[in-house]
Amino acid sequence: MAESAVPYRVLARKYRPQTFAELIGQDAMVTTLGNAIRRDRLAHAFLLTGVRGVGKTSTARLIAKALNCIGPDGQGGPTIDPCGVCDPCRAIAEGRHIDVTEMDAASHTGIDDIREIIEAVRYASVSARYKIYIIDEVHMLSKAAFNGLLKTLEEPPAHVKFLFATTEVNKIPVTVLSRCQRFDLRRIPADLLTRHFAHVVEQEGVEAEPEALALIARAAEGSARDGLSILDQAIAHGQDRVDAAQVRDMLGLSDRGAVRALFAKLLAGDAPAVLAAVGRQHELGVDPTALFRGLLETCHGVTRAKVGDHVDPALSAEEREAFADWASRLGYPVLHRMWQLLLKGHEEVQSAILPMEAAEMALLRIVHASTLPDPGELIRRLTGMEAAGVAPAATSASAPAAAAVSSAYEPSVAPPAPAPVAAAPVPPPTPVVPPKPVLPADFRALHDLLEDRGEPLLAQELHDFAGLVRYAPPELVVRPTRPIDLRKLAGALRRLTDTVWTVSAEEGDAAPTMLEQERAMQAAERAVVWDSPVVRAAREAFPDTELLGYTLDQRSAHA
């Protein structure tokens, strides 16, 4: 009977690091752990946090091996370079060591699961140096489970070590964080991922283009596991060969050369060519969102090249040359305006019912903007026309504006010189000074403005919970009696008054809140009525009299 074939293991599992030397992109953490092991300064609990696929669980298993390794001769101690051949190392790598317990907190969230750990830590390890508990996705534990773990986590037995891994460290209680030694695993840089993938395809005997591996590294967004999963898919897609065109087709990415060509057409303001290029990408199956993402990456790359930033090793030679050329010819205002327009278009395409139509409209808006001068150029033109005694005509403004911006994008083409215009001298236009925004006169007026202009919740918070420390528009300093979203308040005031406000909180002396003032006024009025002669006489005649209502003006009360 023939032996069954060995089941295929995906690359993300097959190339999981087995030593710290194979763990890429986390040199700082490895150095710290190595020093701690050599100096015998090991913490009793470690917290490993970071985005998915950067090696949190793998690092936890490596730490377990490092602490329990006994060396090939059986006489070794804890080491940052576990041998991988001794019984503890092999058992931990295969997930069968009796003293290394790995628990998934996503499926074991309750106090009963933690109670089992608490009861087990009292007993010494069976064969290993340390009894180790690896809890993955620890942020999924319930509040009761966290509370039950606190005492044991603070003072565990000497033979116990806890290793926690999580992608959402903000969900872990501070009481747990303060009892752990925390390591933040970083996203793996794209160049390291590219080299790692090149090593993997070499081991797998697969041919791969460097550009294809760079595309996969970019798509992985710093995650080795995500990148290996994409690489696994790309190998299957390309039948044991990975090239850039196949990766773009598989991921729905736009060809970077086509994106650069589209970017150039946008700068030139050529609307028909832009629409034709977008149509071709749509026919190839490129998602409009991916197209805008490529344009955003291009704009970002040109801006970084203009700043003089280091060269991204994942870029091809053609991209570097194109970015350097654009960076030498484009100004920062043009690039920043392009970025904002592309970003807004990307958001619109993501939420649009008709993504393709939304993409075309957004790109046409950018084409239209390319024919408009920036504010500085517009001021210079108006100043020059006024100095020449020529009134700027609204009907002929678009042509010189388009020529000016086109020359900014393509300086090798000289803008056409404007024809001399003979006109009678006209007086210079009177500058229009925008009216100064009127700010609320006092704190009460500020409250009324919020209440009347569609912010009743913020107005209620100011009324009930804000004691005034200082009001000097556009500055507001309060002492909250309960938490108030000051950032949201500042944004609302900026929108309502067209003025940037500084809103802050301070401790110390402050006026009573408006609610407290109103209550004090009501109490004073009630006291006036309560001590009036009529009410006093009623109280003397009827000792159990209660004041249920009154009208202060008439000094009358109903007992």
Mean pLDDT across the stretch 231-246? 82
CATH architecture assignment, domain 443-511: 2-Layer Sandwich (3.30)
Could you tell me where in the chain the CATH 1.20.272.10 domains are found?
256-370
* Amino acid identity, position 67: L
Structural contact between residues 190 and 17, judged by C-beta atoms closer than 8 angstroms = no
Could you tell me where in the chain the CATH 1.10.8.60 domains are found?
190-251
Name the phi and psi angles at 134, rounded to 5.
-105, 115
CATH number, span 190-251 = 1.10.8.60
Q: What tokens appear for 543 in the block? A: 């000792």
Identify the band that residue 371 occupies on the pLDDT scale cut at 50, 70 and 90.
Answer: low
DSSP string of 31-92, one letter each residue: HHHHHHHHTT---SEEEEE-STTSSHHHHHHHHHHHHH---TTS-----SS--S-SHHHHHH
SS (H, E, C) 364-433: HHHHHHHCCCCHHHHHHHHHHHHHCCCCCCHHHCHHHHHHHHHHHHCCCCCCCCCCCCCCCCCCCCCCCC
* CA dist., res. 18 & res. 416, Å (int): 67
* pLDDT tens, residue by residue, 317-335: 777 888 888 888 888 888 8
Could you tell me where in the chain the CATH 3.30.300 domains are found?
443-511
- Checking if the pLDDT of 238 tops 70, the result is yes
Identify the band that residue 316 occupies on the pLDDT scale cut at 50, 70 and 90.
Answer: low
The predicted pLDDT at position 547 comes to 73
Question: CB count, 10 Å around CB of 533?
Answer: 8
Structural contact between residues 51 and 57, judged by C-beta atoms closer than 8 angstroms = no
Identify the band that residue 391 occupies on the pLDDT scale cut at 50, 70 and 90.
Answer: low
Pairing assessment for the beta strands 160-166 and 131-136 based on DSSP bridges: parallel
> In this prediction, what percent of the chain has a pLDDT beyond 70?
83
Mean pLDDT, all residues of the chain: 81
Structural contact between residues 93 and 84, judged by C-beta atoms closer than 8 angstroms = yes
Pairing assessment for the beta strands 556-558 and 549-551 based on DSSP bridges: antiparallel
The predicted pLDDT at position 552 comes to 61
Structural contact between residues 252 and 290, judged by C-beta atoms closer than 8 angstroms = yes
- Checking if the pLDDT of 387 tops 70, the result is no
Weakest-pLDDT range from 452-461, 471-480, 549-558? 549-558
Weakest-pLDDT range from 76-85, 283-292, 422-431? 422-431
Mean pLDDT across the stretch 108-119? 89
Question: Which residue has better confidence, 134 or 4?
Answer: 134
CATH architecture assignment, domain 11-184: 3-Layer(aba) Sandwich (3.40)
Q: What tokens appear for 540 in the block? A: 């003397």
* pLDDT tens, residue by residue, 136-193: 999 999 999 999 999 989 888 889 999 999 988 899 999 999 999 999 988 888 888 8
Helix and strand totals (H; E) in the chain? 24, 12
The predicted pLDDT at position 399 comes to 41
Q: Residue 541 half-sphere exposure, CB side, CA atoms within 13 Å?
A: 7
Nearest to 194 by CA among 56, 83, 312: 312
Return the SS3 of 288: helix
Class of domain 256-370: mainly alpha
Identify the band that residue 134 occupies on the pLDDT scale cut at 50, 70 and 90.
Answer: very high
Structural contact between residues 281 and 256, judged by C-beta atoms closer than 8 angstroms = no
- Checking if the pLDDT of 438 tops 70, the result is yes
